[in-house]
Structure 1
Amino acid sequence: MRLFVGLGNPGAQYRLNRHNVGFIIVDAIAERYHFNPWRKHPRFEGELATGVIDGEPIMLLKPSTYMNASGYAVLSVLSFYKLHRSDLSVFHDEIELPPGGFRVKADGTDAGHNGLGSITEKIGPDYRRVRIGVGRPIHKSQVEGYVLGDFTPLDMEWLRPMINSVTENVGLLIRNQDSSFQNKVHIALQAAGFGKRGNRRPPT
């Protein structure tokens, strides 16, 4: 079994925030592959949905705590189902990548991301992160308001093809073909007019 965790904040007011792109991704995976309905599990401090992708049982998790306490839910599910950190992939927003940037990383620092920081505190740093670039404002003081702001119509030009490609090719991630998975998403973004680093290509 694999565990895919989407990071975000619970509540309708946060649903379309940049900080909630992890929730958006796992919701899209659940819809595409006809997973069982999301269910709240107080024991795990999160919502779970289960299904099968390419013959592999998959569990999706959206922590019901706020972002900075996401590690409690992740640790609870890993422990209860006796899963390893190698079974875990975390989808999250990344301000150090431009809008439309996309990277898969096996481990590393948390770069100030509160959700990753909470998970690392609970289980250690060795787990897969799927980093979805949302860009950042010029001034550091504006970061919180920026990530807690909603995606704009312009953002949808890269977000929609990214979601489609992630869900279509997620089987590669399940088979540990991280580079191939990342490249498939890059190709989809390039087709939508975004360069490999996520920035919009100039018109030709």
Structure 2
Amino acid sequence: MLLIVGLGNPGGKYADNRHNVGFMAADAIARRHNFGPFSKKFQGEVAEGRLGGDKALILKPQTYMNESGRAVGEAMRFYKLTPADLLVLYDELDLVPGKVRVKTGGGAGGHNGIRSIDAHCGKDYRRVRIGIGHPGDKSRVTGHVLGDFAKADGEWLEPLLDAIANAMPMLAEGKDSDFMNKVSLTMQGKVPAQKEKPASAKPAASKSGGAAPTKKPAAKGKSHIHQARQNGPSIAPPTTGPMAEMLKKLLGKG
């Protein structure tokens, strides 16, 4: 059996917080795959259903984020599950909005819900990291995480939750890469544009609108003096005086 855990904080006050995107994803999965109604169990809300032909359980801990491991651990002990049977969905600051990544094990990355689950259940479970973006300043992280999604975020958030729910059977079958590829393809064109790096300098345009002409390399076998004579303005040789006499001798002209 697969235990799918969505992380968040209970109560209407937190319902639209970025920190509650795990709850949102869990609800989307339950709707998409016709899970039964949520009921109170294991210090959380639980819904039963099937994914990929196998039984699955969705759990939304109601212990508040920092104590999520208590609810998850209780459910795992009841069903005698191992970390390999556990899948956790949660918000990730280090991913841009609309991006999703799956990994097994690793550190908590400063996420208190994950830290709690690690302590109660071990670390070798799969984590579905849902990008919410970083505010850019460490001092603003708490307000960003516990702040509500903006109305404009709905343009990518709703399609993302649907994409996660639709592709969930792939995760149930252990096809993590296929899951990420499907979500990514679905989200193309819906993810917020990111700031691009400055483009490299381009050649200045000529007056005619094209690129400015570049100097041609020196031709092989010709000196710079020869090229200067060839490319520079034509200067008539002197016909009288000492220089004229010398040129006549050098060039063999009488």
| TM-score, with length taken from structure 1 | 0.92
- Contact 2:83 2:123 (8 Å CA) reproduced: no
Q: Deviations over 1:30-56 (max 9, x none)?
A: 111121110012xx1111000112211
| CA distance in 1: counterparts of 2:194 and 2:146, whole angstroms | 27
Q: Deviations over 1:124-149 (max 9, x none)?
A: 11110000000111221111111111
Q: Deviations over 1:87-130 (max 9, x none)?
A: 11000000011111210011111110000000001111111000
Aligned residue for 2:90, secondary structure, equals strand
Alignment of 1:18-37 (within 5 A): 18-37=18-37
Amino acid in structure 1 at the alignment position of 2:177:
S
Structure 1 counterpart of 2:249: none
| CA distance in 1: counterparts of 2:128 and 2:51, whole angstroms | 18
Alignment of 1:130-145 (within 5 A): 130-145=128-143
* Greater RCO, CA 8 A, separation 6+: 1
| CA distance in 2: counterparts of 1:164 and 1:12, whole angstroms | 22
Structure 1 counterpart of 2:110: 112
Structure 2 counterpart of 1:61: 59
- Contact 2:167 2:179 (8 Å CA) reproduced: yes
What percent identity do the matched residue pairs reach?
50
More displaced 10-residue stretch of structure 1: 132-141 or 61-70 = 132-141
Aligned residue for 1:186, secondary structure, equals helix
- Contact 2:46 2:57 (8 Å CA) reproduced: yes
Asked if 1:150 is matched to 2:143, the reply is no
Cα deviation for residue 169 of structure 1 reads: 1.1
Asked if 1:177 is matched to 2:154, the reply is no
Structure 2 counterpart of 1:200: 193
Aligned residue for 2:3, secondary structure, equals strand
Q: Deviations over 1:159-183 (max 9, x none)?
A: 1111111111110000000000001
| CA distance in 2: counterparts of 1:177 and 1:11, whole angstroms | 34
CA RMSD of aligned residues (A): 1.2
Alignment of 1:21-100 (within 5 A): 21-41=21-41, 44-100=42-98
Unaligned 5+ runs, structure 2: 196-254
| CA distance in 2: counterparts of 1:125 and 1:32, whole angstroms | 28
| CA distance in 2: counterparts of 1:187 and 1:153, whole angstroms | 23
Unaligned 5+ runs, structure 1: none
For this pair of structures, how many residues does the alignment match? 195
Cα deviation for residue 201 of structure 1 reads: 6.4
| CA distance in 2: counterparts of 1:92 and 1:118, whole angstroms | 13
| CA distance in 2: counterparts of 1:187 and 1:174, whole angstroms | 19
More displaced 10-residue stretch of structure 1: 174-183 or 162-171 = 162-171
Amino acid in structure 1 at the alignment position of 2:60:
K
Cα deviation for residue 157 of structure 1 reads: 1.7
Higher radius of gyration, 1 or 2 = 2
- Contact 2:52 2:173 (8 Å CA) reproduced: no
